[in-house]
Amino acid sequence: MQFLHFGVPTQEEKPGMNLLEALGVYVTDPSADPFMIEWLRFLLRQDLAALTVHLRTKKEMSKALAHHELIPEIVALRNEVAPRTRLHMNGDIMDRASGERLAREFGFDGVMIGRGVLVDPYCFATA
């Protein structure tokens, strides 16, 4: 199914947003927002128990490097909008030790490991 338009409601006008006059809200277009930070803000406002961020766009699939450079911005957004939501990162994290290192360094709560388990079935082991 193809959506003609899909957006994230917000109160704040920013460049590239469209005003839906009938509803009185501005919407972003996630497909034009390469890293979907506004979409994350919307999700975090839903009072989620936990959120896992895949650190890639849908278009990139697993073919591009995961955007670890966005982690500080995402953690700051979680801290601002939903400090009680546990934040997990996914993408190019190959084993437990590097996941724990990243989580400690950047202040998020856990990781999801995908292809790491295909390389090393013991990648979740503590030592």
Ligand X SMILES: Cc1cc2nc3c(=O)[nH]c(=O)nc-3n(C[C@H](O)[C@H](O)[C@H](O)COP(=O)(O)O)c2cc1C
Smallest distance, Å, CB 76 to ligand X? 22
- Asked if 106 contacts 73 with a C-beta cutoff of 8 angstroms, the reply is no
Asked if 54 interacts with ligand X (CB under 6 A), we say yes
Asked if 62 interacts with ligand X (CB under 6 A), we say yes
| Binders in 96-125 for ligand X, by CB under 6 A | 113-116
Asked if 93 interacts with ligand X (CB under 6 A), we say yes
Q: Which spans of this chain sit near ligand X (rule: CB under 6 A)?
A: 54, 62, 66, 90-93, 113-116
